[in-house]
C-alpha cells in the first residue's frame, strides 16, 4: 500500500527547518503605514492650533456651499475632509473632528471615513508627494526599478520625506492608469514625464529614469517659482467644481433618469435619458 506522508511527518522526518521571511504586510505596507500614523505616534496639533486655518471666511464659505449641495450634511464629509487636507496639508485628528462637526456626524464615523481612503494623509508630507503605483501592471512594467531609482535620486526611502521638506515617496495601489504603467502621481497630477514646463502623460510615454529626472527638475523649478503657493495646491479643484447632489438646494447637477434601468439585451429593452434624449442600447 502506498504510504501517504503528511506534511507534519514530512517535515519531522526530514528535519527541515524554516526561516520566516517578511510577511506581506511588512513587504507591502499601506500608504498610511508608510507614513507612520499606525506604527509611530504622530504628534497631533490641538484644535486651537488648526482653527485659524480652518475658520477663515473663505473656508467657511466653501464649507457652507458644500453643505448646501447635499440633502444631508453628512454627504459633504469627503469633500470637507479634502478642504481640511488642503488647508493643513494633512488630516490630523482634530481636523477630522472639525469636519465631523461641520457635517453633523460623529467623530468616530468621520475617522472611519478618513482612514478608509488612502488619499487622506495622516501625517505631514513633503511639498511634492510622489505616489508610485506598485500594482501588478505597473510592477510588470518595472515599477520597482523606477521606485528604487527615485529613492536613490532623492536619498530617501518610501514613506520618508527629504530633509528640505520637498519630497515624500509613497507606494500605492492601482491608480487606474494601468495602460501607461509604470505611473506616478505628483501631488494630484499624473506624470510620466515633464516637458516645456508641464507635467505630461502622453500616449506611449512611460516612466523611465530619465523621465523621473525631468519630473524632479520640474518640481525644483516650480518650488522656486511658486514658493508661497499652498502646499497641496492641486487639492480642492474638484471640490470647487462640484455640482452637488441633484435635488439638493443650491446644487446645479442634473439628475439622470432613465425609462428602463438597466437596459437588457435579453428583454430587448433600451434606456432613454429623459434629460438629454440619449438612447442607450446594447451592442450586438
Binding site for ligand FES (CB under 6 A): 133, 135-138, 174-178, 181, 183
Alpha helices per DSSP H over the chain = 7-13, 24-27, 31-34, 47-54, 57-67, 77-88, 93-102, 107-116, 136-140, 143-154, 209-225, 237-240
Closest to ligand FES by CB, 179 vs 250, is: 179
Instruction: Find the shortest distance in angstroms from Cβ 137 to ligand FES.
Output: 4
Helices (H) and strands (E) in the chain, counts: 12, 8
Closest to ligand FES by CB, 73 vs 174, is: 174
Instruction: Find the shortest distance in angstroms from Cβ 130 to ligand FES.
Output: 14
Please list the residues that pair with 272 across neighbouring strands.
Answer: 279
Closest to ligand FES by CB, 136 vs 153, is: 136
Q: Are 185 and 129 in contact (CB under 8 A)?
A: yes
Instruction: Find the shortest distance in angstroms from Cβ 243 to ligand FES.
Output: 27
How many whole angstroms separate alpha carbon 112 and alpha carbon 104?
A: 15
Instruction: Find the shortest distance in angstroms from Cβ 112 to ligand FES.
Output: 26
Which DSSP string do the residues of 182-199 spell out, in sequence order? S-EEETTEEESEEETTEE
Closest to ligand FES by CB, 105 vs 178, is: 178
CA torsion sign, 171 to 174 to 175 to 180? positive
Name the DSSP letter for residue 73: G
Instruction: Find the shortest distance in angstroms from Cβ 177 to ligand FES.
Output: 5
Closest to ligand FES by CB, 205 vs 233, is: 205
Instruction: Find the shortest distance in angstroms from Cβ 254 to ligand FES.
Output: 31
Instruction: Find the shortest distance in angstroms from Cβ 176 to ligand FES.
Output: 6
How many whole angstroms separate alpha carbon 205 and alpha carbon 203?
A: 5
Q: Are 77 and 103 in contact (CB under 8 A)?
A: yes
Closest to ligand FES by CB, 104 vs 176, is: 176
Closest to ligand FES by CB, 138 vs 170, is: 138
How many whole angstroms separate alpha carbon 253 and alpha carbon 247?
A: 8
Geometric angle at alpha carbon 146, from 26 and 184, rounded to 5°: 85
Amino acid at each position: 500500500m502506498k504510504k501517504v506522508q503528511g506534511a507534519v511527518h514530512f517535515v519531522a522526518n526530514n528535519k527541515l527547518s524554516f526561516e520566516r521571511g517578511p510577511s506581506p504586510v511588512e513587504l507591502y505596507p499601506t500608504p498610511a503605514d508608510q507614513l507612520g500614523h499606525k506604527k509611530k505616534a504622530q504628534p497631533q496639533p490641538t484644535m486651537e492650533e488648526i482653527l485659524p486655518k480652518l475658520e477663515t471666511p473663505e473656508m467657511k464659505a466653501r464649507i457652507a456651499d458644500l453643505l448646501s449641495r447635499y440633502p444631508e450634511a453628512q454627504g459633504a464629509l469627503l469633500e470637507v475632509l479634502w478642504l481640511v487636507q488642503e488647508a493643513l496639508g494633512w488630516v490630523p485628528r482634530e481636523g477630522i473632528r472639525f469636519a465631523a462637526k461641520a457635517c453633523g456626524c460623529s467623530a468616530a464615523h468621520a475617522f472611519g471615513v478618513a482612514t478608509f481612503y488612502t488619499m487622506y494623509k495622516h501625517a505631514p508630507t513633503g511639498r511634492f508627494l510622489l505616489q508610485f503605483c506598485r500594482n501588478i501592471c505597473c510592477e510588470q512594467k518595472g515599477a520597482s526599478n523606477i521606485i528604487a531609482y527615485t529613492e536613490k535620486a532623492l536619498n530617501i526611502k518610501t514613506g520618508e520625506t527629504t530633509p528640505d521638506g520637498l519630497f515624500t515617496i509613497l507606494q500605492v495601489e492601482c491608480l487606474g492608469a494601468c495602460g501607461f504603467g509604470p505611473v506616478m502621481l505628483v501631488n494630484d497630477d499624473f506624470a510620466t514625464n515633464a516637458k516645456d514646463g508641464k507635467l505630461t502623460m502622453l500616449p506611449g510615454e512611460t516612466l523611465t529614469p530619465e523621465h523621473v529626472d525631468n519630473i524632479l527638475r520640474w518640481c525644483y523649478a516650480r518650488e522656486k517659482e511658486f514658493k508661497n503657493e499652498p502646499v497641496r495646491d492641486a487639492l480642492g479643484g474638484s471640490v470647487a467644481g462640484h455640482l452637488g447632489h441633484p435635488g439638493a438646494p443650491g446644487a446645479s447637477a442634473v439628475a439622470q433618469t432613465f425609462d428602463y434601468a438597466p437596459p437588457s439585451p435579453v428583454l430587448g429593452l433600451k434606456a432613454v435619458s429623459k434629460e438629454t434624449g440619449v438612447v442607450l442600447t446594447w451592442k450586438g
